[in-house]
């Protein structure tokens, strides 16, 4: 029976290692934080152009991740993009009403994300409110076009 | 009821591919006796045992074991019936990852809820019967052929079956272990009243213990009778087999065209 | 001509028959109430197919992670994007390399051994004698192996990923001098637990089922001679490798393709 004991131990360790490995993949590799759902509140923001922003992109404030993009849809009233953001519950009723949202790019070719900057309005944003002041994604072609037309007008 | 045959085979036909192995065989295996089924190699004697055990399904014909028609049973009922049968395989077929002790204990463990101590008693008893109680901790790979077959015999009788099927029990054994096996089979039959079917082509040994003999050739029962009647049978095919003559009605040569023309033919082609 | 068509038809029928047989085989062996005895048999097989395959899988994972970091670095550094190394290593491991390479190694290491073992049991009449004792070999011999393979391969795949990512870290950060924070940070920003780790696991489960199924079926269905065993062992490795690579394409298309 001694041989089977070591075998059982081996299999136990093997399975434990597998579970620990999965934990490692979750925490260290995909950066999961154990935040139960409902720990966030919703904000909406309309952008004229979202570039290549994707659902699940980060929402940051001064570089700190404070939430995620939950969905993106076309607003048929204004024909622009409505982006729904899920922001950390701790920031509910803390962000001023004139907070700006900008679509930024990480590095030259990196992923796009939403950056928030607070303003000075004493009124604050609650669940389901809309951010009025937005700044669209920078599209490289538009930038070049501007640059060229500036050169010509000079 | 007790003197009705234990196993009845009626009109059994079986073929594998295009080759007919049996065409209409009738057998009766009397209760508590040793019945031998003999015949030249390649006549499908092992196949016959597999048919009786319900592992193969015949093309035609029926087989009854103690009144149960084997091939009409559900899978479950067949497995229940098999608990009343033991089979000794040509190769022994011991489970190579279990020790001798565990091999013999295997049928007890899966079919009974006996406590460990009782299983131990039964296993040691069975191993004692085949004279291998001292070898209980060996692994099958460490046994000689004869010992492996004796362990397999102990395993086959572990559940005290009513019918035991021996598949070529004497083949490839040295004279001593052959003698041991002959004695064991005889003794088990006498002491426990087992019904036994022995498939073999070792004439001398088989005839010495069998109560009744069937000789099978070309898919048919060629002769049957007690050993003494067979010995004086005047059918040339039977006497050739029983007395082991190299040539006779069963030809020495595999069917071929004439030797002389064959040689000339191949020479001419090259 | 007619002859050829006839032969093609017969081939097709044989193929369908084999598929049907193996499907029936899978169903018969996979169902069944696990008993305490069954649990123990499963444990033994976990040891056999899982623990004993661990070394080869982990070592391969380490080397593959290291090679990827090295190759990736030389490409990424041209674009000044070497911070994205962690992301590249992790995503390619989690989505593709870990499930596929672990499954291929598993087929070679454990699959072929399963086929040979069951085939040998068949050739030495152990399966037949088990049946004669009144024990269903599908339950007793095949089912524990099937379930052990099904559980072991995903665990091995996790191990492969973890070790591979660590190997990438060793080469990228410790040797080539990528900033440690960006190695892990970029990885965490781009790897999605459900989308990447989860889908990799789903792939691995599918591969585990297919490879073990092929291995045990080839063992159970082979011609019980030594030649039959060696052929079936080869077939196990060939068929399961092809099945893994083919299924990988289908699964990738479903998971990460445009129409997902």
In this predicted model, what pLDDT tens digit does every residue of C152-197 receive, in sequence order? 999 999 999 999 999 999 999 899 988 887 888 788 878 888 888 9
* Rounded average pLDDT over C24-40: 72
C61 has pLDDT over 90 = yes
A34 has pLDDT over 70 = no
Q: Which chain A residues touch C158 with a CB distance below 8 Å?
A: 18, 21-22, 25
Interchain contact B149–C (C-beta under 8 A): no
User: Which residues of C make CB contacts under 8 Å with B?
Assistant: 37, 120-121, 124-126, 128-136
Whether A contacts C, i.e. 3 or more CB pairs less than 8 A apart, is yes
**Per-residue confidence (pLDDT) for residue A33, from 0 to 100:** 60
Interchain contact B114–C (C-beta under 8 A): no
**Per-residue confidence (pLDDT) for residue C162, from 0 to 100:** 94
Determine the residue among A15, A30, A109 to mutate to test chain C binding: the one whose Cβ has the most chain C Cβ atoms within 10 Å: A30
**Per-residue confidence (pLDDT) for residue A125, from 0 to 100:** 85
Which residue is associated with the tokens 């033994």?
C44
User: Which residues of A make CB contacts under 8 Å with C?
Assistant: 4, 7-8, 10-11, 13-15, 17-18, 21-22, 24-26, 28-32, 56, 58, 106-111
Among B204-213, C27-36, C114-123, C131-140, whose mean pLDDT is lowest?
Answer: C27-36
**Per-residue confidence (pLDDT) for residue C72, from 0 to 100:** 92
DSSP letters for C235-247: HHHHHHHHHHHHH
In this predicted model, what pLDDT tens digit does every residue of B156-166 receive, in sequence order? 888 888 888 88
Cα separation, C152 vs C251, in Å, equals 20
Angle at C54 between CA C53 and CA C60, to 5 degrees: 95
C105 has pLDDT over 90 = yes
- Between strands B7-16 and B60-65, the pairing is antiparallel
In this predicted model, what pLDDT tens digit does every residue of C217-258 receive, in sequence order? 999 888 888 899 999 999 999 999 999 999 999 999 888 776
C124 and B96: CB-CB below 8 Å? yes
Q: Which chain C residues touch B83 with a CB distance below 8 Å?
A: 133-134
C98 has pLDDT over 90 = yes
- Domain ranges across chain A: 1-30, 40-145
**Per-residue confidence (pLDDT) for residue A2, from 0 to 100:** 43
Q: Which chain B residues touch C223 with a CB distance below 8 Å?
A: none
**Per-residue confidence (pLDDT) for residue C33, from 0 to 100:** 57
Q: Which chain C residues touch A108 with a CB distance below 8 Å?
A: 80
C133 and B107: CB-CB below 8 Å? yes
Long-range contacts of C191-196 (CB under 8 A, 24+ apart): C191/A29, C191/A30, C191/A31, C191/C87, C191/C90, C191/C91, C191/C94, C192/A30, C192/A56, C193/A25, C193/A26, C193/A30, C193/A32, C196/A30, C196/C90, C196/C91, C196/C94, C196/C95
Q: Which chain C residue's Cα is nearest to A113?
A: C189
pLDDT band at A109 (very low <50, low <70, confident <90, very high): low
Considering only the beta carbons, identify the residue of A15, A31, A109 that sits closest to C155: A15
**Per-residue confidence (pLDDT) for residue C134, from 0 to 100:** 78
Higher pLDDT, A24 or B2: A24
Name the helix (H) or strand (E) containing A127. none
Considering only the beta carbons, identify the residue of C124, C125, C135 that sits closest to B110: C135
Q: Which chain B residues touch C132 with a CB distance below 8 Å?
A: 53, 55, 82, 85-87
The phi and psi torsions of C62 (rounded to 5 degrees) equal -60, -50
Closest Cα in chain B, distance from residue C120 (Å): 10
Closest Cα in chain A, distance from residue C189 (Å): 7
Average pLDDT of chain A to the nearest whole number: 82
CA B75 remoteness from chain centre: 23
Cα separation, C149 vs C29, in Å, equals 13
pLDDT band at C73 (very low <50, low <70, confident <90, very high): very high
- Both tokens of residue B127? 């191993």
**Per-residue confidence (pLDDT) for residue C32, from 0 to 100:** 60
Q: Which chain C residues touch B95 with a CB distance below 8 Å?
A: 121, 126, 130
Q: Which chain B residue's Cα is nearest to C35?
A: B110
Closest Cα in chain A, distance from residue C92 (Å): 13
Among A92-101, A137-146, C66-75, C142-151, whose mean pLDDT is lowest?
Answer: A137-146
**Per-residue confidence (pLDDT) for residue C154, from 0 to 100:** 95
Determine the residue among C49, C50, C188 to mutate to test chain A binding: the one whose Cβ has the most chain A Cβ atoms within 10 Å: C188
CB-based contact C192:C90 (threshold 8 Å): no
Q: Which chain A residues touch C192 with a CB distance below 8 Å?
A: 30, 56
Determine the residue among C40, C134, C138, C229 to mutate to test chain B binding: the one whose Cβ has the most chain B Cβ atoms within 10 Å: C134
User: Residues of B numbered 3-22 whose beta carbons fall under 8 angstroms of chain C's beta carbons: which are they?
Assistant: none
Considering only the beta carbons, identify the residue of B86, B93, B111 that sits closest to C124: B93
**Per-residue confidence (pLDDT) for residue C89, from 0 to 100:** 92
B91 and C125: CB-CB below 8 Å? yes
* Rounded average pLDDT over C60-86: 90
3-state secondary structure string across chain B? CCCCCCEEEEEEEEEECCEEEEEEEEEEECCCCEEEEECCCCCCHHHHHHHHCCCCCCCEEEEEECCEEHHHCCHHHHHHHHCCEEEECCCCCCCCCCCHHHHHHHHHHHHCCCCHHHHHHHHHHHHHHCCCHHHCCCCHHHCCHHHHHHHHHHHHCCCCCCEEEEECCCCCCCHHHHHHHHHHHHHHHHHHCCEEEEEECCHHHHHHHCCEEEEEECCEEEEEECHHHHHCCCCHHHHHHHHCCCCCCCCCCCCCCCHHHHHHHHHHHC
Interchain contact B46–C (C-beta under 8 A): no
Average pLDDT of chain C to the nearest whole number: 88
Pick from C219, C5, C24, C199: nearest CA to C123: C219
pLDDT band at A3 (very low <50, low <70, confident <90, very high): low
Interchain contact B58–C (C-beta under 8 A): no
Closest Cα in chain A, distance from residue C61 (Å): 13
pLDDT band at C116 (very low <50, low <70, confident <90, very high): very high
* Rounded average pLDDT over A53-63: 81
Interchain contact C103–A (C-beta under 8 A): no
Cα separation, A31 vs C198, in Å, equals 14
Question: What is the block-wise mean pLDDT of chain B (270 residues), using blocks of 10 residues?
Answer: 74 80 84 84 78 83 84 82 84 84 87 85 87 85 84 87 85 80 85 85 82 82 80 74 71 74 66
**Per-residue confidence (pLDDT) for residue B267, from 0 to 100:** 57
Among A103-107, B88-92, B240-244, C122-126, whose mean pLDDT is lowest?
Answer: B240-244
Among A98-102, B240-244, C131-135, C235-239, whose mean pLDDT is lowest?
Answer: B240-244
Closest Cα in chain A, distance from residue C230 (Å): 29
* Rounded average pLDDT over A46-74: 83
**Per-residue confidence (pLDDT) for residue A67, from 0 to 100:** 83
């Amino acid at each position: 029976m001694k041989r089977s004991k070591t075998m059982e131990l081996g299999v136990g360790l093997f399975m434990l290692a597998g579970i620990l490995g999965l934990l490692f993949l979750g925490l260290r590799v995909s950066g999961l934080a154990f935040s139960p759902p409902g720990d966030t509140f919703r904000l909406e923001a309309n952008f004229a152009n979202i570039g290549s922003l994707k659902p699940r992109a980060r929402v940051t404030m001064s570089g700190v991740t404070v939430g995620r993009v939950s969905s993106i849809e076309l607003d048929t009233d204004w024909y622009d993009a409505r982006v729904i953001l899920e922001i950390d519950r701790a920031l509910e009723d803390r962000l001023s009403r004139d907070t700006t949202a900008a679509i930024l790019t990480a590095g030259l070719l990196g992923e796009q994300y939403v950056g928030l900057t607070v303003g000075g309005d004493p009124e604050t944003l609650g669940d389901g409110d809309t951010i009025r002041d937005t700044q669209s994604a920078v599209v490289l072609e538009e930038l070049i076009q501007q640059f060229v037309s500036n050169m010509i007008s000079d | 009821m007790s003197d009705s045959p234990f196993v009845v085979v009626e009109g059994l036909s079986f073929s594998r591919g295009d080759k007919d192995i049996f065409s209409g065989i009738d057998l009766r295996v009397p209760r508590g006796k040793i019945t031998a089924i003999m015949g030249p190699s390649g006549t499908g004697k092992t196949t016959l045992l597999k048919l009786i055990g319900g592992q193969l399904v015949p093309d035609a014909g029926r087989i009854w074991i103690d009144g149960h028609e084997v091939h009409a049973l559900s899978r479950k009922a067949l497995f229940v019936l098999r608990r009343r049968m033991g089979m000794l395989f040509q190769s022994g077929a011991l489970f190579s990852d279990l020790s001798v002790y565990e091999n013999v204990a295997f049928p007890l463990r899966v079919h009974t809820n006996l406590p460990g101590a009782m299983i131990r008693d039964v296993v040691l008893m069975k191993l004692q019967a085949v004279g291998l109680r001292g070898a209980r901790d060996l692994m099958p790979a460490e046994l000689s052929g004869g010992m492996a077959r004796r362990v397999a015999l102990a395993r086959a009788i572990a559940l005290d079956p009513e019918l035991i099927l021996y598949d070529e029990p004497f083949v490839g054994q040295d004279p001593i272990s052959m003698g041991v096996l002959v004695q064991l089979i005889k003794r088990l039959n006498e002491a426990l009243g087992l019904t036994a079917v022995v498939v073999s082509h070792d004439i001398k040994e088989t005839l010495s213990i069998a109560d009744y003999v069937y000789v099978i050739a070309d898919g048919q029962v060629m002769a049957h009778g007690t050993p003494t009647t067979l010995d004086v049978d005047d059918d040339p095919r039977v006497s050739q087999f029983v007395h082991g003559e190299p040539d006779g009605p069963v030809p020495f040569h595999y069917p071929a065209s004439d030797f002389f023309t064959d040689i000339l033919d191949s020479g001419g082609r090259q | 001509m007619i002859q050829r068509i006839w032969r093609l038809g017969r081939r097709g029928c044989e193929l369908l028959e084999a598929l049907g047989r193996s499907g029936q085989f899978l169903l018969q062996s996979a169902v069944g109430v696990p008993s305490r005895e069954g649990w123990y048999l499963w444990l033994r097989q976990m040891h056999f197919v899982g623990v004993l395959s661990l070394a080869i899988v982990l070592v391969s994972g380490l080397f593959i992670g290291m090679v990827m970091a090295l190759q990736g670095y030389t490409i990424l550094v041209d674009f000044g994007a070497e911070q994205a190394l962690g992301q590249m290593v992790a995503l390619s491991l989690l989505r593709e390399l870990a499930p596929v390479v672990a499954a291929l190694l598993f087929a070679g290491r454990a699959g072929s051994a399963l086929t040979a073992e069951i085939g040998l049991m068949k050739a030495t009449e152990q399966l037949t004698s088990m049946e004669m004792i009144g024990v269903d070999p599908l339950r007793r011999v095949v089912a524990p192996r099937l379930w052990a393979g099904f559980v072991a391969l995903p665990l091995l795949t996790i191990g492969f990923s973890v070790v591979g990512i660590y190997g990438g870290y060793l080469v990228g950060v410790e040797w080539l001098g990528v900033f440690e924070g960006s190695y892990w940070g970029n990885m965490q920003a781009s790897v999605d637990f459900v989308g990447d780790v989860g889908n990799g696991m789903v792939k691995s489960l599918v591969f585990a089922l297919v490879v073990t199924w092929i291995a045990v079926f080839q063992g159970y269905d082979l011609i019980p001679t030594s030649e039959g065993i060696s052929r079936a062992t080869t077939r196990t490795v060939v068929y399961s490798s092809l099945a893994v690579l083919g299924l990988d394409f289908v699964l990738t298309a479903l998971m990460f393709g445009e129409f997902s």
